[in-house]
Amino acid sequence: MRSLYTLILLLCVQQLQAQSLGRAVSNFDPPEAQYFFNQYLANPAMAGIDSGIHINATYRRPWDAIPGAPVSQTFTADANLGSRVGAGVNIYNDKSGLLQRTKVGLTYAYHLPLGMNAQALHFGLSLALEVQRLDYKNINGEVNDPSVSSFNRRDNYFESDFGVAYTDHHLTVQAALPSLIGMIKNDNKGVSGLTTFYSAVAYRFNTGTEITKIEPKVGYRGLRGEDGIVDAGVNVGLLDDRANVFGMYHSSGSVSAGAGFNYKSLLGIQAVYITQTSGYSTIMGNSFEIDLRLNIGR
């Protein structure tokens, strides 16, 4: 009976990971920082795309401290190594209910100039180790149940992410295939809602000093076992790029808006408020995200 209870609990956890309300909506929503603040989060081709070393961190959680609600953190560091080569490290940790997922990846990128107007092609490949575990401490039941220990004894596994991009002074076009190995093997490791494809197009209008730039962006995310999501929004740079405001609409019904500040191109901070997906906000509530950046030698 206890084994049956634990099995049901595990199934509920997986269902919570998908945030299933009629149509599944993933708990593994990507950080909002990936759209403008730190594009390396979404595409390995963006590692080392600029000169210097870039260190970024994000923290995201629901506005209300609901037990078991999803909390995620990311850390990235990337650098341009010269000779058209970029490199990076990407660490992602997400906890939702009893399930915790950690992914640690290393990235190699190659940046190929094409012309005199900063035209370039970018290619990136990441190799990552991914770990999924259940939290024994918060299980409301028999922690020694073999179903729980069996889940945690599963082997860790490697994943690979691949991305490409085109950039010039104004236009950025990119596409990425996260979890490439799992897609080829058709193996989702029991987790639905993870991104299987990402693409985006952005165009930057340079407008002046007070309003420095206006950059609209449209993207599409394919999700494992769910409908794809369209992301559309705009980032506005202010005061010679010392500050910015941005907003994004996601076709899942979620809306995000944020503002940031840059200090001498050395330090950056961005705060984001995110409304929950349609049909889920009455249960989970809205969330917030804090993004930090340090640029060295830029």
Q: What is the pLDDT of residues 191-246, one digit of tens each?
A: 556 788 999 999 999 998 899 999 999 999 998 778 899 999 999 999 999 999 99
Structure tokens at 98: 């009893």
When the pLDDT of each residue in the chain is averaged and rounded to a whole number, the result is: 83
Residue 7, pLDDT score: 35
* Whether residue 186 has pLDDT greater than 60: yes
Among 10, 17, 3, residue whose Cα is nearest residue 224: 17
**Any idea where the domains of the chain sit in the sequence?**
51-296
- Confidence band of 182 (pLDDT split at 50, 70, 90): confident
Dump pLDDT digits (tens) for 136-181.
666 665 556 665 556 555 667 889 999 999 999 999 999 999 988 8
Residue 8, pLDDT score: 33
CATH label, 51-296, candidates 3.90.100.10, 1.20.1250.20, 2.40.160.40, 1.10.579.10: 2.40.160.40
Residue 142, pLDDT score: 59
Total-model pTM: 0.83
- Confidence band of 133 (pLDDT split at 50, 70, 90): confident
